[in-house]
Amino acid sequence: MHVVDQGIKIRLEGMVTLENVNRVYHMGGHTIHALKDISLSLETGKLVVVLGPSGSGKTTLLNVLGAIDKCDGKITVSNLEITRLNKKQLTKYRREKCGFIFQFFNLLPVYNALENVEYAIELASKLSRKEVTKRATDYLRKVGLFEKRYLFPSQLSGGEQQRVAAARAMAKNPELLLCDEPTGELSVTEGKQVLTVIQNMVKERPDVLTVLVTHNQKIAQIGDVIVRLRSGEVDSIEEQSPIPAEKLSW
C-alpha cells in the first residue's frame, strides 16, 4: 500500500501525469471546486479505478484526461502536454489517443454495431476499407458480438451496446481508455460482461492506460490501482491485486 499525502512532491514519471490540476465551475453566484490541485502519475498497462462518492469529481477528472473539458494545471500524456494544445490538436489527440466508454453508451443510432466500430477506426487510421472492416469485425468478435454485428443500437440490449462501445473505443488502438461508470445503466450480469471485456483488454494491451470511474466499492475491486477521490481531492492511491470481474457481485 502506498499513500500519497497532498502537498508532498511526488515524482512524475508515468505515462500520464497531472500536475496541480484544478477545475472550477462557476454556476450562478457560487463556484464549485470540482478538482482541487490534483497531481497524479499513472502507468500504462494498468487498470486504474477512480472511486468516490457522487459529486466527488470523478467524471471531471476523466473528462480533463480525455480533453473534453478544460482545466488549469498541466496534463501530459506520453510526453504530450495536452493542456497546451489548441482545439484542432485536441481533436487529433482525442481521435488518435483516447477511447471513450460513456455511461450512456452514445452509439450512433443510424449505424449498426459494425459501422459504429468502423467509424472510429476510419477516423484514427489510414487503413483500407477492407482492413477497417476486418479489424472492426475482430473487435466485435472479441466482445462477443460477432453474430450481432449488423444490428442497430436500437436492436441491442444495454450491455450489448456498451460492449460495442468498448470495441469502438479499443479498435482504434488508443493510448488511453476512459470509462465513465460503464455499468451505471446496466444490470449486474450485463455489467459483469462489460467489465470482463475491459479487463481482458487491459491484459492484452500493456501499452494502454485504462481509467475506469465508479462510485461502487465492489466494482473498484477489478482495478490494479484505486484512486480514491473525495470532494475533488485525491484521498488515497493504492495498488491491489485485481479480482476478475466475473467473480464480482453487487
Partner 1 sequence: MAKTVKNIYRAINANKFRLLTISLVIAIGITSFNGMITAFVHMTRTYDTAFEDHNMASFTMQTANLGGSGEDAWIDYVNLTNFINEFQEQEPEQESLVKAYELRIVYNTVFEIRGEKQTGQIVAMSTLDSQGNYREQPDVNGYKILSGTPYSELSRYQNVCHIEAHLAEYWKLEPQEFIAIGDSRIPFEIVGVIGSPEFLINQGSYADIMPSPRRFGVVFLPLKAAQGLLGVEGKVNEISVLLEDGLSKNRREKIASDLKLFLETNYDLKFSAPIDIDNQPSYYLLRLDIEEAREFGIVLPIIILGMAIGGLYVLLSRMVVAERKDIGVAQALGYNRRTIILQYLGISMVIAIVGTLIGTLLGLWFLSYFSPLYVDMLSIPFTPEVTIEWPIVISGIVIGILTGLVGGYFPVRGSIQPLPAESLRFDPSLHITSGKIPLIERVLKLFKINLRATGLKLPLRNLFRSKRRTFSSVFAIIVSVSLISMAFGMIESMNESLTFYYDVSEDWDLRIDFSEIPTNTSQIARTIKQNVESVTDITYHLLSGAIVTSLESSQRKQVTVVGMNDSDGYLGHTFNFEAGDDWNPEGLVLSVPIAEALHVGLHDEVFLELPKLTKLVSTTPLRAHFELVNISFQITGIIDEFNGLVAFVGLENLITVSNFPGEPANTILLKIEDPTPERLDMIREEILAKYGYNVRNIATKAEQKGELLELMDLLYNIIYIVAIFAVILSCAIVYNTIYISLQEQQREIATLLTIGTNNRKLIRNITVENTVITLVGTVFGLIFGWIMLWFFMRVILDMEFFRIKLFISNNTIFISFIMTYIGVLIAQYFPLRRTLNLNLAEATKERVV
Ligand X SMILES: Nc1ncnc2c1ncn2[C@@H]1O[C@H](COP(=O)(O)OP(=O)(O)O)[C@@H](O)[C@H]1O
> Which of the ranges 10-18, 50-58, 90-98, 237-245 carries the binding residues for partner 1, by CB under 8 A?
90-98
Closer to ligand X by CB, 55 or 144: give it.
Answer: 55
Interface pick for ligand X out of 34, 117, 121, 179 (rule CB under 6 A): 34
Whole-angstrom distance, CA of residue 120 vs CA of residue 63? 19
Whole-angstrom distance, CA of residue 183 vs CA of residue 161? 11
Whole-angstrom distance, CA of residue 213 vs CA of residue 234? 14
- Give me the amino acid identity at 184: G
115 binds partner 1 (CB under 8 A): yes
- Minimum CB separation of residue 238 from partner 1 in Å reads 27
Joined grid coordinates for residue 149: 454485428
79 binds ligand X (CB under 6 A): no
SS3 call for 229: strand
SS3 call for 26: strand
Residue in the structure block whose three cell numbers are 485504462: 210
Positions in the binding site for ligand X (CB under 6 A): 25, 27, 32, 34, 52, 54-60
Positions in the binding site for partner 1 (CB under 8 A): 59-60, 63, 66, 68-69, 88, 91-92, 94-96, 98, 100, 102-104, 106, 108-112, 115-116, 118-120, 122-124, 129, 132, 152-155, 168, 180
